[in-house]
Each structure stands twice: as structure tokens, then as C-alpha cells.
Amino acid sequence: GNHKWDIPILERFPMSEDAASGTLKEFFTQGFSRYETERSRADLEWSTSKLSAHLRIGTLSPNELYHKTQDSGLPYEDTKTFSRRLIWRDLAYYQLYTFPSMRDQPIRKHYESTEWVTGDEERRRLEAWKWGKTGYPIVDAGMRELYATGWMTQSVRMIVASFLVEYLRVNWVKGCEWFHCTLVDADSAINPMMWNNAGRSGIDQWNFVLSPENASQDGTGEYTKKWVPELAGLSKPL
């Protein structure tokens, strides 16, 4: 119809060096010192940096961000996860160089025999996941936020990915494709690296299944109620 999908995304993530500089300053003022303990909280403002899109298109240098982190004056224990995740970026590029087919094929080839749901059932489950209609509040909230804004926190990305693969048994490639179409920070190396891991076929494959519950990501319930308003009348926590 007349829905302008790009307008709210561009309003939330203006892409310029000035915008990147402003976001960088605000994150280090508002949230960086709490990142180590609050990074999984989707219901808290500045629990994550919101800088990934700027790193993706080049309006922010990863070197600048790394040195900003090292010069923060915070102890190593308070910066280690943020620094490690920044380095993941280069690890992803190395993996894509080494495994150029990883965008739609398992890095660990013996996982090609994994049995996934197929046919009409695959389409039904995938559509419910894509549009946030699975019936699992945190999953639906994340997927609706993704389509509306082009973004969600790393922890919610991992939950919805794990849900698609482990609970719905849909091939991780389908999730990778949807993320690449909808994420404002979609990266041709990072995205398939993380989805390979979620599908248990990556170099650092996940040896865990994330529970699709809200407790650690949305302690107040406000995040879920914002994106799944039909639950707004329920008591906290969801």
C-alpha cells in the first residue's frame, strides 16, 4: 500500500558522520559503563550502543570505537564484552574470506544433512516468525521491532534465531535471508557467521538453546508491551 517502510528506519538511524558522532558520545555518556551488566536488557535505553549501522556503512571507524573503549578509564572487566564483540566484526570477515559459501551453506559440511521442516509447514512457521505471530511474547516483540525499525538488540536477535532453528526447526538460511533484508546493519559476513552458529554449523556453533522467555531481556515488561500491544493489559512481568 502506501506504507513507507524506510521513513521510520531513517528517522531512527540517520546515516551521517555527524549522527554517528552524536550516537557515540551519547552511548559513552549514558550507557557504556553499564553495558557489561545490562547489555541483554531490551527494555532499557542505551543498554547497547546502537552503533552497528554506522560501522556497517562506514560513518564510524571501528578503530575509533576501539580506542574510545580503551580510553574510557573503565576496568577491563567492564569493557571486555564490548571489545570482544567489536572484534567479532573482523572475525566474520575472515570467515567469509575463508568460507565464501557460508552465506547459504553450513561451514561445517557434515551439517548439510540436518533435517529441517519443509513445504507448507515450513512456510507457515516461517511466516509466523517473520511477522511476530508465534505466540511467544519476546520473540514476537523482537520480530515486530525488526520490521518496524530495522534493528533489535543482540540478545533478542539470538533469542529469535534460536527459536527459529531449535523450536520451529526451520533452516537457518531462511532466517539469515530475512535478517539480511530487514536489518539496517545487515552485513554480508557478520549475518551468516551468526546464523551459522545458531544453526550449529558454524566455527563457534552455539552449544545452548536460548529460552524464549522474557525474564532477563525484559524485566519490566515494557519492551514486549510496546511491540505486542495486545498484551499491554497483562500484569508485570509477562
Q: Which residues line the annotated binding site for FAD?
A: 35, 48-52, 82, 185-187
Question: Which burial class, exposed, middle or buried, applies to 57 when counting CB atoms under 10 A from its CB (0-12, 13-18, 19+)?
Answer: middle
d(C-alpha 201, C-alpha 189), whole Å: 15
157 is written with which cell numbers?
536477535
What 8-state DSSP symbol labels residue 163? Answer: I
d(C-alpha 23, C-alpha 12), whole Å: 11
Positions at the binding site: 35, 48-52, 82, 185-187
Query: Shortest CA distance to 205 belongs to which of 107, 113, 76?
Result: 107
Task: Spell out where the chain has E strands.
Answer: none
186 is written with which cell numbers?
545487515
Q: CA 96 → CA 41, 79, 89, 109, distances in Å?
A: 30, 27, 11, 15
152: left (phi over 0), alpha (psi -120 to 50) or beta: beta
Which residue shows C-alpha cell 533484508? 181
